[in-house]
Homo-oligomer: A and B are copies of this chain.
Amino acid sequence: MRITMIGSGNVATHLAAAFKNAGHYIAQVYSRDMHHAALLAYHVGAEAIDDLQKVNPETDLLVISVKDDAIIPIAKDLARYQKLTVHTSGATDIEALSAIIANAGVFYPLQTLSKNKEVDFKTVPLCIEGANEEIALQLDQLAQTISHKVYRINSVQRKTLHLAAVFACNFPNYLYDVARQLLEKQQMEFEMLRPLILETAQKVQDHLPAEVQTGPAIRNDQSTMGAHLQMLDDKPALKTIYTLLSQQIITNDNAGH
């Protein structure tokens, strides 16, 4: 397929590389910032542009991968081409592409993508939605060329998935940093916790989280939790987080989950 990338951020960068690796042709990369456009364009052998007027109409797919609040104005601008157009946002309804709805779809990679970290795209779940069945099929086929895990979900499901990803990824990563800060205060290296963090994630690859929950809260070990809270006496926010999450683990367990 001949693909035009609108955007040059983390998602655009990883998607463009995956498309190119799968044998697709990246025609152009657009960014408001020519420098950013040029950098990604160089990597995928595309033309860099910083003006939506310069989008070449000879393309099969326009991929809008920009900040959520820029999707609607850009979609309006691109509507004149009447080409297959997708956005890549987990939090955004397909209706954001209403200006071009007859050709609209969503192509949402469910992964934490940073420019400085490579990822095997074959393992990245791709969540697709089409304004109609024909579009959905076309996106499904395209998705299969770059990933083994393709899911068809609707906009309501996708928004839930995006919220769930915050709990499954963004919040755990912040808690890793809390742990690092606690260790630092006692002259210990974050390195000590890395095997624990990895094993915690590996455990739920073939178990459900509730089956492998460990720690003082699931044992309702009040004396350890009391000692932990005392150690957090000078960190009121962490104390609140500790209390709240521990209570939830205890309650969750009692609910039989």
Residue ranges of A at the interface with B (Cβ–Cβ < 8 Å) = 10, 68-69, 91, 110-114, 116-117, 119, 123-125, 127, 149, 151, 153, 156-157, 159-183, 185-188, 190, 192-205, 207-218, 221, 223-224, 227-228, 231-232, 237, 240-242, 244-245, 247-249, 251-252, 257
8 further contact pairs, Cβ within 8 A, besides A110-B193, A110-B195: A111-B195, A125-B196, A149-B192, A160-B186, A172-B176, A173-B209, A177-B213, A241-B241
In contact, B224 and A68 (Cβ under 8 angstroms): yes
B68 pairs with A203, CB closer than 8 A: no
Bound CA–CA A168/B169 (angstroms): 12
Q: Which of the listed residues A10, A127, A203 has the most CB atoms from chain B within 10 Å of its own CB?
A: A203
Residue on B with the closest CB to A202? Answer: B198
Closest Cβ of chain B to A234, distance in Å, is: 13
A183 to chain B, nearest CB (A): 5
A215 touches B166 (CB 8 A): yes
Please state if B163 and A207 are interface contacts (CB–CB under 8 Å): no
Contacts of A114 in B (CB 8 A): 203, 212, 214
Name the contact of A125 in the complex, choosing from B195, B205, B245, B248 (C-beta under 8 A): B195
In the assembled complex, the Cα of A169 lies from the Cα of B204 at a distance in Å of 12
**Pairwise interchain contact A197-B169, C-beta atoms closer than 8 A:** yes
- Please report whether the interface of chain A is mostly helix, strand, loop or mixed according to DSSP: helix
In angstroms, how far is the closest chain B Cβ from the Cβ of A88? 14
A173 touches B193 (CB 8 A): no
> Which single residue of chain B is at the shortest CB-CB distance from A168?
B179
Q: How far is the CA of A218 from the CA of B113 in the complex (A)?
A: 14
- Which 7 residue pairs spanning A and B have beta carbons closest together? A170-B215, A201-B201, A172-B172, A168-B179, A177-B209, A164-B179, A176-B209
Q: Given A209-B180, A248-B241, A163–B195 Cβ distance below 8 Å?
A: no
How far does the alpha carbon of A255 sit from the alpha carbon of B209 in the complex, in Å? 32
Q: How far is the CB of A37 from chain B (nearest CB, A)?
A: 20
Q: Which of B119, B173, B198, B205 contacts A194 (CB 8 A)?
A: B205
What CA separation (Å) do A55 and B117 show in the bound complex?
53
Find out whether the CB atom of B248 lies under 8 angstroms from the CB atom of A237: yes
Closest B-chain residue to A187, C-beta based? Answer: B157
